[in-house]
Amino acid sequence: MIAGIIRWSARNGFLVLLGTAFIVFAGIYAVRHTALDAIPDLSDTQVIVYTEYPGQAPQVIEDQVTYPLTTALLAVPRSKVVRGFSFFGVSFVYVVFEDGTDLYWARSRVLEYLNFTAKRLPEGVTPSLGPDATGVGWVYQYVVLTCWLVGCSDGCHCRCRGAGRSATRNAIAGSSRRRCSISTTTVTRPI
């Protein structure tokens, strides 16, 4: 069978080139038009409602703030789970939505329901929405530094260079290693 394909390809060179060109252009088109996430956001769409009620115990916060908010937000369209947490002077309510729900649509629905619920809360208590970012938006950056042991009169040191930084680390005296790799965590920042 392979010999037949080779014979056919040798007799029909133009069709082979035409097919190859079609496959190349289809590949280029697919690469340019395919959406790609470097770090896909697999977390659920969620909206956090943060409420302060200073000087109150968690049980009071639960009864007067968290419970009314939680029961009201259970009716938000496309909500899957509503979780409430009460601490000293603070209430958090997490509203988790079904897959495929737009974050800003979800935030606007939660705001609508918060406006209706505000009259059920104690005077001076105003719930607010949390940030519109998920945990996936934060990335740890790691820097791998290559180090060389340097002998000095006062002992051994490991001189490191990498990622535009230089550092000096104390090395174990009498170490037989001439090179070492150190992985350090740098600051985290949003994408």
Of 168, 171, 167, the residue nearest 155 (C-alpha): 171
**pLDDT tens digits along 107-164:** 999 999 998 888 889 988 999 998 876 655 544 444 455 555 555 544 455 555 544 4
Q: What is the identity of the amino acid at 84?
A: G
Where would I find the beta strands (DSSP E) of the chain?
46-52, 79-87, 90-97, 128-129, 138-139, 142-152, 155-162, 165-170, 179-185, 189-190
| The pLDDT value given to residue 90 | 93
Residue whose tokens read 């939660």: 110
**pLDDT tens digits along 15-54:** 999 999 999 999 999 988 887 766 666 778 889 999 999 9
- Cross-strand pairs, 154: none
Domain ranges (residues) in the chain: 2-33, 46-137, 140-184
- Cross-strand pairs, 82: 95
pTM of the model: 0.54
Give the Cα separation of 77 and 97 in Å (integer). Answer: 9
pLDDT at 93 over 90: yes
| The pLDDT value given to residue 132 | 78
Q: Range with the lowest mean pLDDT among 6-15, 88-97, 158-167?
A: 158-167
Q: What is the CATH number of domain 46-137?
A: 3.30.70.1430
